[in-house]
Amino acid sequence: MIITFQGLESFRVSQGDTTIALNPVSKDSKFKSTKSGADITLITTNHPDLAGKDSTSRGDKESFIISGPGEYEVKDVGVKGFLSESEYGGEKRINTIYQVSFEGMNLCFLGALSNPALTPETIEAIEDVDILFVPIGGEGVLDPAAAYKLAVSLEPKIIIPMHYGQIGDKSALKQFIKEGGEADVESVDKLVVKKKDVEGREGDVIILKEE
C-alpha cells in the first residue's frame, strides 16, 4: 500500500489497480486542487477545501463517491462511515469518520473532526486501527492536544497528522509532536506499508511530506 499527501486533508491510498482519494481539494477552493484519478473518493465534510469530487474522475471513468455515514463495499474495499461534527469554515457541519478495510489493514480517517467526544458506537466500531489520519490544526478542527489525546485513545499502530501548515495554527505540528514527547519523528515523501510492517508498532507518528 502506498499513501501520499497532497495538502490539507487530501491523501491518495493505492494498491495494485485500486486507488482511494481522501478529502481531495475542490477546484473551487483557494488552495491548490490536484486532479488525479481515483476509483473511490471519500469526502468527510461539505466544504470546497475537502470535497473535490470534481478532481478524481478520469475521462469517462467516474470515481465512486462516498460522502456520508453508512456501509459500502467497492472493489473489495470495505468502508464504514460514522456521523460526527466539524466546525471547519466557521460553521457547524456534518463530518463523517471513515473506517476503511483495504489490503488486510484498517485505516481510520477522522476528516475535519472538531468534537473529540465520539459516540460509544463509533469508538467500538473503529477499534483495531492500523493507520489513523487525525486533523491537528485548530480553526474548526481538533487542536493539537485534543487530537493527540483522541489519537492515542484509539490505539492505532501508526498516526498520520493532517490539516496543518496551510491553515490554522502554524505551530500545530510541533505542538502535536511535543504532546507525544517524541524527540525524533519519521518524515517521508510517501508511506509504503504492508500489514507486517505495522505489527508491533504502538502509536508511531509519521509525517508525510506534501507532494
Percent share of the chain, pLDDT over 70: 97
Domains and CATH numbers, the chain: 2-208 (3.60.15.10)
Residues of the chain with pLDDT under 70: 167-170, 183
Q: What is the pLDDT of residue 168?
A: 59
Q: What is the pTM for the complete model shown? A: 0.94
pLDDT value of residue 35:
75
Phi, psi of 196 (to 5 degrees): -65, -25
Chain position carrying cell 481539494: 25
89 by Cβ neighbours in 10 Å (0-12 / 13-18 / 19+) ranks as: middle
Give pLDDT tens digits for 12-55. 999 999 999 999 999 888 887 777 789 999 999 999 999 998 88
Instruction: Assess contact for 177 and 149: CB atoms under 8 A.
Output: no
